[in-house]
Amino acid sequence: MVEAGEDQSPWAKAESGFTTKRNSEYFDPCQEAAARSMKCLHRNGGDRDLCTDYFQAYRDCKKQWMTERKESKRREGKSTL
- pLDDT tens for 22-33 read 666 667 889 999
Q: How many CB atoms lie within 10 A of CB 53?
A: 11
The answer to whether residue 51 is domain-embedded is yes
Rg (CA), the chain: 15
Vertex 58: Cα angle to 14 and 78 (nearest 5) = 45
Inter-CA distances, 60 with 20, 21, 28, 80, Å: 24, 24, 13, 20
Structural domains of the chain, count: 1
What per-residue confidence (pLDDT) applies to 24? 63
Helix (H) or strand (E) holding 20: helix 10-20
Give 7's DSSP letter.
Answer: T
The answer to whether residue 8 is domain-embedded is no
**Residues above pLDDT 70, as percent of the chain:** 63
Q: pTM for this structure?
A: 0.65
Query: What domain range includes position 66?
Result: 28-80
The answer to whether residue 16 is domain-embedded is no
